[in-house]
Every structure is written in structure tokens, then in C-alpha cells.
Amino acid sequence: MEKIFRVDYFQKNNLLIVVAIIFGILIFATLLFYIIGIVNPNAKLSELKARTKSWWIMASMFILATVVNSMISYIAIAFLSFVAFRELYSLMGFRESDRRAIFWAFLSIPIQYYLAFIGWYGAFIIFIPVVMFLFLPFRFILKGETNGIIKSMAALQWLLLLTVFGISHLAYLLSLPELPNFNSGGRGLLLFVVFLTEINDVMQFTWGKLFGRHKIIPKISPNKTWEGFIGGIISTTIIGFFLGFLTPLKGSELIFVSFMVAVSGFIGDVVMSSIKRDVGVKDTGNLIPGHGGILDRIDSLIYTAPVFFHLVYYLAY
């Protein structure tokens, strides 16, 4: 049992408090919508209910990833990358002759996560931006089909950076060395960035629904407003400050990092929206209900994971 589950979880009050808070919020939201549904049967709740359901799944997945043996956590996050990569590349219309290069791109996923698992930082940080960047074009040219090759090379590399390199920073958080006077460790950091990113989405959504008047980028995301953006950033920064016990950061550093998570979460969200508009789909898949694809749920994480990782790595390690 101890090999599969990390029993020390229950001795780490910090983590336990946050898990309790997350489930508390989810139970509150579920009950709230249930009661509103009974009191006012005409209320349009299906979207909110579906959202809550997808939060349950996301929260359980990430909390499980922090409870179980770390090897399983790495595999779980790698699977997330795999599904995101698959969803996105399927939409992008690669050429028939790109299949071999795409095969190698898929293979890079386990390698990248293995490098995170063994904690070889130097290799982890260059594997996709340097090694795959140089290798994939070589695999493309072996096929010899030059018509449209730039687009394929660029799109594949960019996809790997988004869905594999970016998300794999979440896994590397678990491989960061122990710090004195900081006992939540990598699991605390992982929980912090995922929770803050998701709460940022919720806050931007809520503030936008309540007070949204001025559209911020109507061509890409008509529901995004300045009110939602600013309200979201302020509330996320405050929440991040109070959850700071999950990180080794203090005071102004913590405020700055939370602020950056909020801003980059917004950017990730709209960047992914623009991609969805380009390929002409609203939802990217159906793994998690309500929000369509898994990409729709991790779009902000694609940006927040590397931003948060490198800020923390610079400030604390």
C-alpha cells in the first residue's frame, strides 16, 4: 500500500487543508445549483452544472496525482499531454506524408516525462525546444514531400511545445529538490498552480458574467470583458496570496507570481480560443463533459505551468 499511496499526505496539513477547500467549493457549487434548480426550474443551469461536473473530474484527477506514488502522477500528467496533443493534431489537417514525423512526436512524450521523472533538468529543458526541433525536420525531409513542408514542420514543433513541453513543467514540479523550511514540496506547488489556474478561469467567468460590459478581444472570444479580466486578476492574486503556504515564496514574490499566473492563464485561454476559431470547432473533444475537450480545460495551464515553474525556479531554487 505504501508503495502506491503516499501515506505521509495525512501528516502534511497544508496539502490536506487545500484538498478540503477544493472539495468544499465543489460541494458548495453542486448543492447551490441543485437548490437553485429546485427553487427556480426555469433557470438556465445546464452549462454551469456541466462545468461543475468537469471541475469534479479535474480536481479528482490532480488530487489523485498528488496522493498516489509519484511515478503514477508522472504517468497521469503525461497522459494529459498525450490526449491534448492528439486532440489538437487531429484538428490541424496534417498531410498523409507527415505520419512518420508525427509518430516520433508522439514518442517524444514518454521521453520528455521520463526526463522530468529522473529530474535531469538540463535534458528536460532542451529536449523538445532543441533536440526535437532539430530532429523532426530531418524525419520530414526523409519522406521527400516538400509541398507544404514548412507548415507541417512549424505546426508540429509548435504543437509539441504547447501540449508537451508546457504541460510537462507540471510534472517537473514534482521532481524539484527538497527545500529546508518548506514541507509541501512539489506536490504543494502542483496543487497551487493547478488550483490557482482553475480558480482564475472561474473568477474571470464570474466577474465577466456579473459586470462584463466592455469587450476585450471580441473577434476571438466574445465573452471576455475588461471587467472579467481585471476582476479575475485581482481575486486570483488575493486567493494566491492566501494559498501561499503551498509554496516556498513570501510576500511580494508571492503576489507577483499569483498575478503572473492570472495574466498568463488569461492569455492561454484566448490563444487556445483563436486556434479553435481557426480550425473551426467550438469544442475540441468530449473526454470531460460540459466543456467539450480536455484542451478546453487545460488551455490556461499550457501558459501558467511554464510561467509559474520558471518564476518559482528562479525565485526559490
Among 208, 285, 290, 292, which residue sits at the site for another protein (rule: CB under 8 A)? 285
Smaller CB separation from another protein, 173 or 294: 294
Among 10, 28, 34, 103, which residue sits at the site for another protein (rule: CB under 8 A)? 103
CB atoms within 10 A of CB 56: 18
Q: Which one of the spans 99-107, 116-124, 218-226, 253-261 is the region binding another protein (CB under 8 A)? A: 99-107
Among 33, 106, 226, 256, which residue sits at the site for another protein (rule: CB under 8 A)? 106
146 binds another protein (CB under 8 A): no
CB atoms within 10 A of CB 59: 18
Minimum CB–partner distance for residue 13 and another protein (Å): 36
As a dihedral over the C-alpha atoms of residue 175, residue 181, residue 187, residue 188, rounded to 10 degrees, the angle is: -140
170 binds another protein (CB under 8 A): no
Which letter does DSSP use for residue 214 in this model?
S
Cα–Cα distance measured from residue 112 to residue 224, given in angstroms and rounded to the nearest whole number: 34
Number of residues that bind another protein (CB under 8 A): 15
By rule CB under 8 A, what string of x and - marks binding of each residue 65-84 to another protein?
Answer: -----------------xx-
Extract the C-alpha cell encoding 65: 496525482
Minimum CB–partner distance for residue 90 and another protein (Å): 4
Extract the C-alpha cell encoding 62: 490532480
90 binds another protein (CB under 8 A): yes
Extract the C-alpha cell encoding 101: 514525423
Cα–Cα distance measured from residue 151 to residue 10, given in angstroms and rounded to the nearest whole number: 50
Residue spans of alpha helices (H) in 144-291: 149-160, 167-173, 185-211, 226-242, 251-279
99 binds another protein (CB under 8 A): yes
Q: Minimal CA–CA distance to 65: which of 30, 19, 23?
A: 19
87 binds another protein (CB under 8 A): yes
Element at 11 (helix H, strand E):
none
Smaller CB separation from another protein, 153 or 294: 294
283 binds another protein (CB under 8 A): no
Q: Which one of the spans 5-13, 64-72, 85-93, 119-127 is the region binding another protein (CB under 8 A)? A: 85-93
> CA separation (Å) from 33 to 12, 50, 59, 271, 294?
32, 11, 18, 30, 23
Minimum CB–partner distance for residue 103 and another protein (Å): 6
Minimum CB–partner distance for residue 105 and another protein (Å): 10
Residue 311 identity: L
286 binds another protein (CB under 8 A): yes
Among 19, 65, 102, 190, which residue sits at the site for another protein (rule: CB under 8 A)? 102
Q: What residues contact 176, with CB distance under 8 A and at least 6 apart? A: 119, 185, 186, 189, 313, 317
Question: Are residues 118 and 70 in contact, defined by beta-carbon separation less than 8 angstroms?
Answer: no
86 binds another protein (CB under 8 A): yes
Q: Which one of the spans 15-23, 52-60, 94-102, 190-198 is the region binding another protein (CB under 8 A)? A: 94-102
Site of interaction with another protein (CB under 8 A): 82-83, 86-87, 89-91, 96, 99-100, 102-103, 106, 285-286
